[in-house]
């Protein structure tokens, strides 16, 4: 993990504020009857109109500006004209924004209309797992302390943690060291340094932890077909604590 200078942090914080606003805009547009393709195009325009670049578009060949993962799709769902949101669905929106060379990254799982209590609880526990994790994030502590806390909280609530996907460092590049798992031992991972930015992102399944990669090479779904939720923020760790940049 690489510390950012004060000047770099100004740009990083701007990238993250646009990321936050783009996610809030996405949430405002989600309703039964909209396609994930339409949602992608609206959010893409919002990001560009904000003076930024949608980082996901073209990243390693990804064909859209946001990831739209519905119900059992864990992450990296490709927006499609054929994917029409319906009442009772949940949709995870994951997006990255580049502003003057720096990248913000965040994700939320949103309800589509009225959802079941079971899905609502999954979304809430996934969000809470993030906050439980960052209680253990501090300069001089190991990344594994955060990872372990997320796993313990999710499993205590009866859910499972995806193993194949993880959070990461972030700054001038979307994915930088270190890898930040959502499970593991408190002794895992490197020590956290001051003034680094990290993307922390619990991915929690209602059922079993096992997943499949789709034939499109992007979408990841639960093997048992049960719903999954995703909650991510870019955070800044300083000597004084943790600042959530995308809230």
Each residue of 11-54: pLDDT tens digit? Answer: 999 999 999 999 999 999 999 999 999 999 999 999 999 999 99
Residue 240 belongs to what domain range? Answer: 6-244
Identify the CATH number of the domain in which residue 234 sits.
3.90.230.10
Give whole-number Cα distances, 200 to 30, 175, 181, 204, 228, in Å: 24, 12, 9, 13, 17
Confidence of residue 1 (pLDDT cuts 50, 70, 90): confident
| Rounded mean pLDDT, 197-209 | 98
Confidence of residue 66 (pLDDT cuts 50, 70, 90): very high
Distance between CA atoms of 59 and 97, rounded to whole angstroms? 12
Closest CA to 115 of 74, 71, 155, 154: 71
For the whole model, what pTM was predicted?
0.96
Percent of the chain beyond pLDDT 70?
Answer: 100
Give tens-digit pLDDT for 116-128. Answer: 999 999 999 999 9
With respect to residue 1, please indicate whether it lies within any of the assigned structural domains: no
Closest CA to 95 of 51, 129, 62: 62
Query: How many domains in the chain?
Result: 1
């Amino acid at each position: 993990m690489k510390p950012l200078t004060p000047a770099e942090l100004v740009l990083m914080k701007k990238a993250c504020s646009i990321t936050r606003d783009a996610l809030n805009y996405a949430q405002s547009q989600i309703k039964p009857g909209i396609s994930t393709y339409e949602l992608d195009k609206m959010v893409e325009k919002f990001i560009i109109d904000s003076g930024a670049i949608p980082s996901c578009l073209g990243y390693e060949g990804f064909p859209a500006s946001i990831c739209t993962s519905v119900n059992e799709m864990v992450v990296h769902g490709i927006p499609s004209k054929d994917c029409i949101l319906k009442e009772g669905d949940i949709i995870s929106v994951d997006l990255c924004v580049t502003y003057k060379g720096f990248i913000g990254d965040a994700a939320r799982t949103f309800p589509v209309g009225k959802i079941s209590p079971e899905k609502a609880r999954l979304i809430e526990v996934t969000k809470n797992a993030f906050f439980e994790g960052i209680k253990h994030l501090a300069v001089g502590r190991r990344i594994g302390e955060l990872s372990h806390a997320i796993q313990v909280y999710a499993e205590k609530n009866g859910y499972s943690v995806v193993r194949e996907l993880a959070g990461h460092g972030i700054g001038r590049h979307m994915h930088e060291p270190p890898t930040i798992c959502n499970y593991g031992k408190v002794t895992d991972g490197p020590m956290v340094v001051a003034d680094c930015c990290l993307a922390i992102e619990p991915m929690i399944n209602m059922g079993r932890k096992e997943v499949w990669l789709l034939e499109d090479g992007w979408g990841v779904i639960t093997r048992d077909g049960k719903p999954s939720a995703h909650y991510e923020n870019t955070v800044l760790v300083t000597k004084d604590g943790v600042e959530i940049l995308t809230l």
